[in-house]
Structure 1
């Protein structure tokens, strides 16, 4: 597998319809007219992914006040996402991309370095999508800890 194709500002965000943690479908096109923060994470209920989800949860009110919707995406099943939501009181939608097609379309699945080894997996990434469905920011290989604070600064919210 080669390095994934990365999105850049101005690209059209790949549309998707995926199952949420509640089993309901969520489509990116249904969020048109609103700004969206879509963040890709490797696995629910792991330390880094939990920290990142809780940071988004704790910043959700101010992000929504600034017009942003937050959606988390991972290859976890809807059932595992439901447990994650319940266990950590996640208050935004989590979508399941078990076949990794959407993660791949966003350049958030492919080869990455993990503890000095090249592995294939989810590349922790965040995408800011404008109200017209265009990529405003595409951030790859972000850190689980401190990323939401950096994103808030980048968006002019702090």
Structure 2
């Protein structure tokens, strides 16, 4: 069982394949804030709604000093298709092995079509330029999350 991540703690470091054909390492982004958001699946209604909201507000996050990274268990190929179809302008990371999902404790038991399964709980971790957790947001709603996150960050700026 993963320890609960708390505000002020060091964000767990990782390296994952990205949708640009390379890798992204969290610690290599030090000096910038990071919005690390976990979502269940490419090309589904809620995940598309959330990704489009991040896409449409990316300039606002960047003006606040944040880079946006989206993480799911989908393949790089799936991420590339999702990025192209939706015109996404931020990096998507593939966690097929669930390593980072486990580090951040986002895999939860869910009910889908009457069956129990494990899936990603829609969650966001706001990481400071020094690599510390500023906000831990679990169980967020796809339709309202980005607006709520921006209000929080712009209010703190």
TM-score (norm 1): 0.92
Asked whether the 8 Å contact 1:11–1:135 carries over to 2, the reply is yes
What's 1:15 paired with? 13
Match of 2:49 in 1: 51
- Cα-to-partner distance string for 1:17-37 (whole Å, 9 max, x where unaligned): 111012211100111010000
SS at match of 1:103: helix
Structure-to-structure mapping, 1:5-84, within 5 angstroms: 5-84=3-82
Deviations 1:88-132 (A, max 9, x none): 000000000001110111011132466887531111100000011
2:126 aligned with 1:128? yes
Distance in 2 separating the partners of 1:114 and 1:52: 20
Give the Cα–Cα distance (whole angstroms) in 1 for the partners of residues 104 and 28 of structure 2.
18
Rounded to whole Å, the distance in 1 between the matches of 2:73 and 2:149 is: 23
What is the CA RMSD across the aligned residues, in angstroms?
Answer: 1.9
2:99 aligned residue: 101
What is the deviation of 1:8? 1.3
Count of residues paired in the alignment: 156
Cα 1:22–1:32 shift into 2, 3 Å? same
- 1:156 CA displacement: 2.1
Residue pair 2:36, 2:126 contacting (<8 A) in 1 also: yes
**For structure 1, which runs of at least 5 residues remain unmatched after alignment?**
none
Instruction: Name stretches of at least 5 consecutive residues in structure 2 with no aligned partner.
Output: none
